């Protein structure tokens, strides 16, 4: 397909919807009255999303179908998705597009030569709508493969305002103040911190925010690339800081065992269920926690508020991000058109309106978000430009940084269980990291 034809096709896909009152069947003509450019095309999109995330992403895909005439099927994938895709490819039936939740997964899939470079229209959308940093996260060795559709600000602490008001607690700005606030809330009769320790990735987020603030961006980058070891003194310091919280079971909802048995969704909902007597007063996680809060009776902005992850020591407030990138496993006009659509403000606007979503698309109007809290979170992300750090575990080989029950996830769960054994945790982390990076280097 020529660049001109592709551009025309995708321009139609991005055009405003509606039949202009013509009375025509939208299944027969496109938004501009012409033939639907992808009518008859079948596209499979694989992602690990479930529940509200899957439902909201499906709304985006339905809009793409409406604009193009394509039939898009959502394929539920198991985590880690790279293993799922490998099985599909080995069986000769890969999806057309996949949503990859880790930078490391993009690099691994590119190394396996599974991915197709993005086409000219998707590149044009990326250039127009994304900062250089977000574009580079989707590239491998200078070739653009990924379109970051969904982002996350993973440096937030959500709290139950009624509990804070009853305890006379204020939003802390430093780690020291955070621990003091936790003790104040505990003294008021409510357990202060809800931790979803059954999902190891939440613990990697705790570590990364502490580490980025305390050790600084340069060390963060080095540890992410494993150019310094997990036995480094900077890691010792970060785990020592975390142990100031994890080592006090009375501050954790359900104690240590309760935290280890609590999955992420429950860690959020139990913070905003029970009025001013919840199981936990505050929960650390990204903007996407809004989806889980919406499943309770709490209203964001009044019953549920948020503050930035506190600065540790002499460090600054950390900004850790994450995201899901769309990649093409088949070089078809349907797959390429979908990538271009996902890179547009139109696609981001659909999910933004539903809540629990953050877009790295700088041309998405903040008014698309459903409340002031999420608008401010979005403005902070876009305002950071390229001055952010991507989730460290998502940059690592997936066998270490992104696999349930293994690697960093398991090591930090063990650390939560026994936060006194800092040296043992570091030794396990380094041994697992060394093995994973060595395997990744061999391809």
Residue 17 has a pLDDT of 40
Tell me whether residue 205 is in a domain.
Answer: yes
Tell me whether residue 25 is in a domain.
Answer: no
Q: Are residues 313 and 417 in the same domain?
A: yes
34 CB neighbour count, 10 Å cutoff: 11
Q: Are residues 67 and 175 in the same domain?
A: no
What CATH number is associated with residue 255?
3.40.190.10
Tell me whether residue 349 is in a domain.
Answer: yes
Q: Are residues 308 and 203 in the same domain?
A: yes
Residue 33 has a pLDDT of 53
Q: Are residues 353 and 261 in the same domain?
A: no
Tell me whether residue 416 is in a domain.
Answer: yes
pLDDT tens-digit readout, 394-414: 899 889 998 999 999 999 999
Q: Are residues 78 and 203 in the same domain?
A: no
Domain count, the chain: 2
Q: Are residues 52 and 121 in the same domain?
A: yes
H helix runs in 97-174, sequence order: 103-111, 120-129, 132-137, 161-167
CB distance 310 to 160 below 8 Å: no
Which residues in the chain land under pLDDT 50?
A: 1-8, 12, 16-29
Q: Are residues 300 and 164 in the same domain?
A: yes
Q: Are residues 120 and 269 in the same domain?
A: no
Residue 34 has a pLDDT of 61
pLDDT tens-digit readout, 28-68: 445 555 679 999 999 999 999 998 899 999 999 999 999 99
Q: Are residues 216 and 291 in the same domain?
A: yes
Q: Are residues 340 and 290 in the same domain?
A: no
Which structural domain range is residue 123 located in?
Answer: 3-15+32-153+322-389
Q: Are residues 110 and 209 in the same domain?
A: no
Q: Are residues 203 and 215 in the same domain?
A: yes
Could you please report the per-residue DSSP string of 175-239?
Answer: HHHHHHHHHHHHHTTS--EE--TTSHHHHHHHHHHHHHHHH-HHHHHHHHHTSS-TTSHHHHHHH
Tell me whether residue 370 is in a domain.
Answer: yes
Residue 57 has a pLDDT of 98
Find, among 431, 329, 369, the residue nearest to 95 by Cα.
329
Tell me whether residue 53 is in a domain.
Answer: yes
């Amino acid at each position: 397909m020529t660049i001109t034809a592709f551009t025309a096709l995708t321009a139609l896909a991005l055009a405003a919807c509606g039949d202009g009152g013509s009375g025509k069947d939208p299944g027969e003509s496109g938004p501009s009255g012409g033939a639907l450019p992808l009518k008859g095309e079948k596209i499979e999109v694989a992602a690990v999303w479930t529940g509200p995330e899957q439902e909201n992403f499906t709304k985006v895909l339905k809009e793409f179908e409406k604009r193009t005439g394509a039939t898009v099927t959502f394929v539920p994938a198991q985590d880690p998705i790279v293993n799922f895709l490998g099985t599909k490819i080995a069986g000769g039936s890969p999806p057309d597009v996949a949503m990859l939740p880790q930078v490391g997964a993009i690099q691994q899939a590119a190394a396996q030569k599974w991915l197709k470079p993005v086409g000219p229209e998707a590149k044009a959308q990326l250039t127009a709508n994304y900062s250089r940093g977000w574009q580079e996260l989707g590239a491998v060795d200078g070739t653009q493969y990924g379109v970051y559709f969904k982002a996350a600000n993973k440096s937030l602490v959500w709290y139950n305002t009624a509990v804070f008001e009853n305890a006379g607690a204020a939003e802390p700005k430093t780690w020291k103040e955070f621990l003091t606030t936790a003790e104040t809330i505990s003294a008021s009769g409510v357990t202060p911190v809800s931790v979803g320790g059954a999902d190891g990735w939440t613990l990697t987020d705790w570590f990364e925010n502490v580490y980025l603030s305390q050790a600084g961006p340069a060390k963060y980058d080095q540890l992410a690339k494993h150019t310094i070891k997990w036995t480094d003194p900077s890691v010792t310091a970060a785990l020592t800081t975390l142990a100031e919280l994890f080592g006090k079971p009375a501050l954790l909802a359900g104690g240590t065992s309760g935290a280890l048995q609590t999955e992420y969704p429950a860690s959020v909902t139990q913070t905003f269920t029970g009025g001013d007597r919840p199981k936990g007063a505050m929960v650390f996680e990204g903007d996407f926690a809004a989806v889980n809060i919406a499943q309770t009776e709490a209203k964001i902005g009044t019953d549920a508020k948020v503050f930035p992850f506190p600065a540790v020591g002499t460090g600054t407030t950390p900004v850790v991000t994450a995201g899901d990138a769309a990649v093409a496993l088949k070089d078809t006009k349907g797959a390429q058109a979908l990538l271009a659509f996902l890179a547009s403000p139109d696609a981001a606007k659909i999910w933004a309106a539903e809540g629990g979503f953050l877009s790295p698309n700088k041309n998405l109007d903040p008014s698309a978000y459903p409340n002031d809290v999420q608008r401010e979170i979005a403005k902070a992300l876009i305002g950071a430009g390229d001055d952010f750090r991507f989730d460290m575990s998502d940059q690592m080989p997936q066998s270490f940084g992104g696999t349930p029950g293994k690697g960093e996830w398991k090591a930090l769960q063990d650390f939560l269980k026994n936060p006194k054994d800092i040296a043992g945790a570091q030794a396990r982390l380094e041994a697992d990291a060394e093995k994973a990076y060595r395997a990744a280097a061999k391809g």
